[in-house]
Amino acid sequence: MLKKVLIANRGEIAVRIIRACAELGIRSVAIYTEPDRYGLHVKRADESYSLGDDPLAGYLDPQRIVNLAKQVGCDAIHPGYGFLSENARFAELCEHQGITFVGPKSSVIARMGDKTQARKSMQAAGVPVTPGSDGNLDNLEDALAVAEEIGYPVMLKATSGGGGRGIRRCDSANELKSHYPRVISEATKAFGSAEVFLEKCIVNPRHIEAQVLADSQGNVIHLFERDCSIQRRNQKLIEIAPSPQITPEQRNYIGELAIRAAKAVGYENAGTVEFLVTGNQVYFMEMNTRVQVEHTITEQITGVDIVQEQLRIASGRPLRYEQQDIRHQGYAIQFRINAEDPKNNFLPSFGRVTHYFAPGGPGVRVDTAIFTGYDIPPYYDSTCLKLIVWALNWEDAIARGQRALDDMRLHGIRTTGHYYQQILAHPDFQKGQFNTSFVPDHPELLDYSVKRHPSEIALVLASAIAAHAGW
């Protein structure tokens, strides 16, 4: 088993990994830049080291992180998600320095990070992909020719893209002409590559992804699927496991496709294969070569600690489970509580958390790194906590989600919590009938009013009295 792991990340996912290390008897090492000096992951780790004043540079410097890991005696690095988690050079540096990278090999990251290579790998393995360009597009004329052949609408995508960036839907030749230079520019700035490709746009699909685990002995299993269709501008908001809107036959088929995809590229560790589903058609979209933000809901329905399994696999141990051992029970829903104002076009709402009270009770889990008095910095992702609920059936899971969202007290910033309550109350969501167009198709859900809870009023009064008394 690994002895000492440096966590090349911050915030709630760093805290999550620290907890898994503690349960396995592994020593944890945190890194931080100046805005995170008082962060929870810094306090919870066994050791913590500063990477300087710049908010981002340290988290994005693979050589410096690997050097630090060597210097402090770490035998592994866990990248979490975001930052360098899907950076093939980072994994390669670890390999060259004899540091275990908690994830797949660098060659696999590079292969699956290149969307055109990933498509070709899946086609060779018999995994269905959407019609599109055979490789990267050389110019706008090529893009127009491919679009004419497969028919509009089409999706223009950055080859190295991810996280909803570097992607545009084009409904006509004029839109493709307009978006082409914009995607090139965005891809170059965000991913350091101007390469783009094109594929058929599947209109109003369901976004379904399958969690896989694979060890170094060639064993691969899936942990069923998650439904990530509730999203805004390709950014996931609410995730559900298992999907309430696919059949058992589709569930088995998607799981088999995910295993086939992982085996085709020699995958190792935890990964997620993402699909677009329309009717009975299932199309490969991409593979995320890291732990997902929404891994929590899979843990809730299967009882498998995915982060612990990552660490065990990285230690060279075989999977503890065979496919027939994996069962799912009930439904889990994850809400990404973002520091954003939904009523103001989801404008970021960074600042000090003046009061935070976590929801609790049966079937409620909160993954976060915030606390009362914490200053949410403007340099990172806007997610401030993940609220997860579980219940034996879909109706009870929704009711528990509504109750937990109402329980939560998070003052000082605006969040997406109240907006999610509107989504849960919608009849289509309650019937499990939604797709990726749900959020844009229901702008009326943003027309809600926020009533001040008595606890918030009492808090304001107490603060005013304290200030007046000079406390």
pLDDT tens-digit map of 362-405 = 999 999 999 999 999 999 999 999 999 999 999 999 999 999 99
pLDDT tens-digit map of 299-358 = 999 999 999 999 999 999 999 999 999 999 999 999 999 999 999 999 999 999 999 999
Task: Identify the CA nearest to 161 among candidates 205, 117, 196.
Answer: 196
State the Rg of the chain over Cα.
22
What's the pLDDT score for residue 454?
A: 62
Three-state SS string across 261-316, please? HHHHCCCCEEEEEEEEEECCEEEEEEEECCCCCCHHHHHHHHCCCHHHHHHHHHCC
Least confidently predicted of 89-93, 127-131, 260-264, 459-463:
459-463
Assign 249 to helix, strand or coil: helix
Q: How far is it, in rounded angstroms, from Cα 95 to Cα 84?
A: 15
What are the tokens at 93?
């540096």
Q: How far is it, in rounded angstroms, from Cα 81 to Cα 405?
A: 25
DSSP assignment of 407-429 equals H-EEESS--SHHHHHHHHHSHHH
Residue 174 half-sphere exposure toward CB, CA atoms < 13 A: 0
What's the pLDDT score for residue 417?
A: 98
Residue 171, pLDDT above cutoff 90: yes
Contact status, residue 111 vs residue 271, Cβ threshold 8 Å: no
Mean of the pLDDT values across residues 33-42?
97
What's the pLDDT score for residue 77?
A: 99
What's the pLDDT score for residue 451?
A: 72
As beta bridge partners, residue 31 has: 49
What's the pLDDT score for residue 165?
A: 79
Task: Identify the sign of the CA torsion 233, 259, 129, 158.
Answer: positive
The string over 380-415, giving b where at least 16 C-beta atoms fall within 10 Å of a residue's C-beta and e elsewhere, is: bbbbbbbbbbbbeebeebbebbeebbeebbbbbbbb
Name residues whose C-beta falls within 8 Å of residue 204's C-beta, 6 or more positions apart in sequence: 278, 435, 436, 437
Q: How far is it, in rounded angstroms, from Cα 312 to Cα 319?
A: 8
Residue 450, pLDDT above cutoff 90: no
Mean of the pLDDT values across residues 121-133?
96
Distances (CA, A) of 241 to 10, 79, 191, 250: 26, 24, 31, 14
Catalytic residue among 10, 27, 290, 336: 290
What's the pLDDT score for residue 177?
A: 97
Residue 424, pLDDT above cutoff 70: yes
Residue 459, pLDDT above cutoff 80: no
| Domains of the chain by start residue, with CATH | 4-102 (3.40.50.20), 131-200 (3.30.1490.20), 206-454 (3.30.470.20)
Contact status, residue 356 vs residue 370, Cβ threshold 8 Å: yes
Is 327 one of the annotated active-site residues of the chain?
no
Assign 237 to helix, strand or coil: strand
pLDDT tens-digit map of 184-214 = 999 898 888 899 999 999 999 999 999 999 9
- What dihedral do alpha carbons 371, 372, 378, 380 form, nearest 10°? 10
pLDDT bin (cut points 50, 70, 90) of residue 463 is low
What's the pLDDT score for residue 190?
A: 83
Mean of the pLDDT values across residues 94-99?
98
- Residue 406 host element (H or E): helix 394-407
Three-state SS string across 329-364, please? CCEEEEEEEECEEHHHCCEECCEECCEEECCCCCCE
Number of other CB atoms surrounding residue 113 within 10 Å: 22
Which of the 8 DSSP states describes residue 175?
H
More confident position, 135 or 261: 261
Instruction: Give me the chain's average pLDDT, please.
Output: 95
What's the pLDDT score for residue 85?
A: 98
What do you get for the CA distance between the two ends of the chain, in Å?
Answer: 51
